[in-house]
Amino acid sequence: MGTTRPGFTIGDATPQDLAACGDIHRESFSQAWEDGTLAAMLKTKGTVALVARAQKPADHPVRGFLMYRTAGPEAEILTIAAARRARRHGAGRALLEEMIRRCLADRLKEIFLEVDSGNEAAIRLYRSLGFAKVGERAGYYRHGERTTAGGGETGNALIMRLDLAD
């Protein structure tokens, strides 16, 4: 079952969508997952992948995706990414709103995520949806190239939570 948001239709990812999701992940993250990782993760119990499709798919219908898993009363966002041309157009918000809707329907109590402390746009989006910082992991993300001798910059991971309980 999918929902429609202005400009996007949100629904479950199909096996045919995974190549496009992989491309979006690679263009979005310097430490992108290897080919096959998305498919392998999706086979894990409790893991769900949502895609944002353009309502008028001219050349590339998948504009973004979100992968999350549930365990007990909580969900964890594993990754979320939007294609460059879909950023700041609502794909990420639409994906998050659909995930939250599903988690509420499943009576989950909370949603967790990690975000690079330097990703101000994502942090603003998460806060606008009610997520709050509950922790931080120092030096969690690597930026740029890193050699075996070290080097490269690191970024902290903010741990954020959305409380879904009444």
What tens digit of pLDDT does each residue of 111-152 get? 999 998 988 999 999 999 999 999 999 877 776 554 444 555
> What pLDDT sits at residue 154?
76
d(CA 72, CA 108): 8
Q: What is the pLDDT of residues 46-102, one digit of tens each?
A: 999 999 988 775 555 888 999 999 999 999 999 999 888 777 878 899 999 999 999
Q: Which residues contact 31 (CB under 8 A, 6 or more apart)?
A: 141, 142
pTM of the model: 0.86
Task: Give domain limits for the chain.
Answer: 3-163
Question: Which pair of structure tokens corresponds to residue 6?
Answer: 């202005």
d(CA 156, CA 152): 14
Pairing type for strands 74-82 and 110-116 reads: parallel
d(CA 101, CA 8): 16
Nearest by Cα to 132 from 162, 91, 108: 162
Q: Note the CATH architecture for domain 3-163.
A: 3-Layer(aba) Sandwich (3.40)
Contact yes or no for 43/36 (Cβ under 8 A): no
